Amino acid sequence: MSDLENQESEFSRLLQNVPFDDAGGEEHRQSLRERVLAEFDRHAASELAPSEPARPWWKHALIQGAEIMRRPIPRLIAVTTACLAIAAVWMVVPGGQTTAQAFNKLAAAIAEAKSAKFEMEVTIEGQPKQKIEALFLAPGRYRQELPGAVNIVDLKAGKIMNVIDSQKKVMIMNVKGEQKGQGSSDYFERLRELLAKSRDAKDEQYQPIGTREIDGKQAVGFRLDSPAAAVTLWGDAATGTPVRIESLWSGLPLTEVTMSHFEINVDVKESLFDLTPPAGYKVQSIDVDASPYQEKDLLAAFATACELNEGKFPESLDTAGVMKLVINFAVKKGVENNFSDEDQQQMMKQSLVIGRGFGFALQMPESAEAHYAGKNVKRDAKDSPIFWYKPAGKTTWRVIYADLTAKDVEAAPQVEGAKRLQNASKAKKPEAF
Amino acid sequence: MSNERPSSEKPEADDELVVRARTDRAAFGLLYDRFYPHVERYCRRRLFDRTIAEDVVSDVFLQVASHIRGFTGRTETDFRRWLFRIATNAVSAHLRQSLRRQELWDAAAPDKQLGRNWDTSGGSHPSQAGHDVLDWPVIYRAILELDERDQSIVMLRFFGDCSHEEIAEIVNATAGAVRTALSRTLSRLREKFNPTPTATEEIVPKG
């Protein structure tokens, strides 16, 4: 018999000899039974009522977070839903090149394009594939419609409005720190030229990948690998207009976006880009830093992750690692009872901090040879290297330690179990469930 | 004591009932009947006061009724774990209010002192061993001095009939961490009840 078994046996014996007053209770049991069954009926009825708003996706996920994380399929659902807290923002503001901004450049590169319609298929790691109807109106305005929600982006105004009809909620994101005056022509002007010149492109960044029939059109394809994204462009050689753009984005969560069915210079109403929240909707706002990622963002992300994880660094710098932190944190807060809008907003802020910092790490070029070794390391393990990389143009290594100090050193740390990070050009495509 | 539930009366598994209870009123009623005594006992031990405990039990089962349709578990074990997690959170939320905690503290034998002898006779009745029999208010007051997590662990183990693994899942820890915490807590309690043990009163580990 182990020591603990001895202790337990001893305490059990002690309790066996304790007289408990367990009288009563039957009356309460009976009266509560009626109330409980009435509550059961009420929820059953509300589920059948079509006008009843659905339980918020994030609340559903978080309520059952601990339960969900034990099972493979529900775990994907948990990751899916909690991921949206990050992804909903990431998709429009990933800290650098966004899908919206990318298309802005595309539109700018296509001469005289003032408006456009196109379709997007978005696959975020662990989530079902989503189909989005997208509209563009110069300058820099986008509208993305997906089931139950609408995102409106106005890059000039620095605002993004996410409207969730089923919950009658609006989230306004105030975009801060965006680079002003940044040229919008180079990337997609090249695209146009490349498409027009077909396979004669000489730019080393683009790899011709042949021709293919897409949507009844003969399209020529090129691939562009950058730390931020791996992009495949299919364009109509005859007109220079895009036919399909497939992109796999680094960062959290790993995301694949396919844009297709482009219609250029079509009628698009200004009113569709109005940033006024619908009447009667609850409005929340949050500031989003869209400036280029820096090392300090990674330090802030590590600090936040440790706060959520009882002083330990996350197991991995990927979606699964981050979701585990977020869900565990939410469950510890007792979300079965109460997870308020304020809690949700706080979680969103923390997710943004983590998303930016990990984005810095995950969008490094391959030449940086970035490594992560934070698994099972505690914040107070002062001298433990948890992350290192080779800054561009330097011969030294930049090392971040568990106490979140950073130093330049001559040689890369040798840590057992350290994992080299991969950006989108090397990553597998995200798997939808 | 093995890592099985402390209670000798292990409820018969009825996974089908749990699945049906999500949408079937009668099945849900049966589930309520089956689990009410367990939850009531757990809350009553943790909250000492019967009236307060009944309020919390009501809150627990009303939450269960509200969320059973979204419950994703498929076994009675899953349900039990979910139920006790809700109960533990409800109790903890109640205890976090210092005023209520003080009320419980005052109610739990204000005139009683700790330091009576823990039965260390290895199975014989305390009175037979010549020791005073501790009463529940004294024990409760000592448990109330523990931090919230340790309280939950002890109560789930001895009054919720939960295994170490189930407790681990309820309090979101590893089973190893639960065992360590439980051992530490029982040692602390033992010291409280028996502050100056003599050599003859030391526990002799068995087998």
The band of B137, judged by pLDDT with boundaries at 50, 70 and 90, is confident
Q: Is B59 helix (H, G, I), strand (E, B) or coil?
A: helix
CA distance A349 to chain B (A): 24
> Within an 8 Å CB–CB cutoff, is residue A26 touching chain B?
no
What is the predicted pLDDT for the residue at B57? Answer: 93
Banded model confidence at residue B181, pLDDT cuts 50, 70, 90: very high
Residue B206 to residue A35, Cβ atoms within 8 A: no
Domain A96-273, CATH number (from 3.20.190.10, 2.50.20.10, 3.30.870.10, 2.60.40.1220): 2.50.20.10
Give A117's strand partners: A135, A263
> What is the pLDDT averaged over residues A228-254?
71
Q: What φ, ψ does residue B162 adopt, rounded to 5°?
A: -100, 145
Read off the pLDDT band of B119 (50, 70, 90).
very low
Kindly list the residues from chain B whose CB atom is less than 8 angstroms away from the CB atom of residue A17.
119, 125-127, 133-134
Give residues with Cβ within 8 angstroms of A71, minimum separation 6: B72
Q: Looking at A147-299, which runs of residues are DSSP E strands?
A: 149-154, 159-164, 169-176, 206-214, 217-225, 229-236, 242-249, 255-264, 282-289
Residue A178 phi, psi (nearest 5): -70, 145
Measured between beta carbons, the chain A residues lying within 8 angstroms of B133 are 17-18
Provide the pLDDT confidence category of residue B131 given band limits of 50, 70 and 90: very low
Q: Which residues of A touch B207 (CB under 8 A)?
A: 1
pLDDT at B171 over 90: no
Mean pLDDT score across all residues of chain A: 71
Where does the pLDDT of residue A60 fall: very low under 50, low under 70, confident under 90, or very high at 90 and above? very low
What pLDDT sits at residue B64? Answer: 93
Cβ atoms of residues A114 and A138 within 8 Å: yes
Beta-carbon separation of B61 and A332 below 8 A: no
Q: What is the DSSP letter of A312?
A: B
Is A64 in CB contact (< 8 Å) with chain B?
yes
Helix axes A3-16, B175-193, angle to 10 degrees: 50
What is the three-class DSSP state of A82? helix
Whether B202 has a pLDDT exceeding 60, the answer reads no
Amino acid at A173: M
What pLDDT does residue A81 have? 40
Residue A193 reports pLDDT greater than 60: no
Q: What is the pLDDT of residue A77?
A: 35
Residue A111's pLDDT band (cuts 50, 70, 90): very low
pLDDT surpassing 60 at residue A106: no
Instruction: Note whether B189 contacts A29, CB cutoff 8 Å.
Output: no
For A:332-371, CB contacts with B below 8 A are 332, 334, 336-337
Residue A253's pLDDT band, with cuts at 50, 70 and 90, is: low
For the ranges A287-296, A420-429, B14-23, B109-118, which has the lowest average pLDDT?
Answer: B109-118
Lowest mean pLDDT among A94-98, A105-109, A164-168, B37-41: A94-98
Q: Which pLDDT band holds residue A409 (cuts at 50, 70, 90)? A: very high
Give the length of chain B. Answer: 207
Yes or no: say if A375 and A305 are a contact pair by the CB < 8 Å rule.
Answer: no
**pLDDT the model gives residue A236:** 72
Distance CA A283, CA A252 (A): 26
Torsion on CA atoms B119, B120, B122, B123, rounded to nearest 10: 0
Residue A164 has pLDDT above 60, yes or no: yes
What pLDDT digit, counting tens, does each position of A40-59 carry? 877 766 554 333 333 333 33
DSSP for B116-172 reads PPP--SSSS-TTTTTPPPPPHHHHHHHHHTS-HHHHHHHHHHHTS---HHHHHHHHT
Please state, in angstroms and rounded to a whole number, the distance separating the CA atoms of residues A55 and B68: 13
Extents of the domains making up chain A: 52-95+293-425, 96-273
A3 in contact with B at a CB cutoff of 8 Å? yes
**pLDDT tens, residue by residue, B68-87:** 887 877 788 889 999 999 99
Question: For chain B, which residues make up each domain, given as ranges?
Answer: 13-107, 110-207
DSSP string, A318-356: SHHHHHHHHHHHHHHTTTTT---HHHHHHHHHHHHHHHH
Our CA-based measurement puts residue A59 at a distance from the nearest CA of chain B, in whole angstroms, of: 11
Residues of chain B with C-beta less than 8 angstroms from the C-beta of A12: 1, 6, 158
Residue A396 has pLDDT above 60, yes or no: yes
This prediction has a pTM of 0.47
- What pLDDT, in 10s, does the model give residues A326-369? 666 666 665 544 556 677 677 777 877 887 888 788 878 888 99
The Cα–Cα gap between A256 and A429 comes to: 7
For residue A188, is pLDDT > 70?
A: no
* Residue B72, min C-alpha distance to chain A (Å): 8
- CATH placement of domain B13-107: 1.10.1740.10
Q: Which residue has the tokens 């029999």?
A: B133
Span A227-253, mean pLDDT? Answer: 71
Taking domain B110-207, whether its CATH number is 1.10.10.10 is answered by: yes
Mutation target to probe the B interface, by most B beta carbons within 10 A, among A3, A12, A16, A32 is A32
Question: What does the radius of gyration of chain B's CA atoms come to, in whole angstroms?
Answer: 19
Query: Does A67 reach chain B within 8 Å, measured CB to CB?
Result: yes
Whether pLDDT at A388 is above 90: yes
A196-205, A371-380, B25-34, B171-180: range with lowest mean pLDDT:
A196-205
Confidence of residue A313 (pLDDT cuts 50, 70, 90): very high
pLDDT at position B201, please? 41
State the amino acid at position A307 in one-letter form: E
Is a pLDDT exceeding 70 seen at residue B4?
Answer: no
What pLDDT was estimated at residue B105? 60
Chain A interface, best mutation among B25, B43, B186, B193, by max A CB count within 10 A: B186
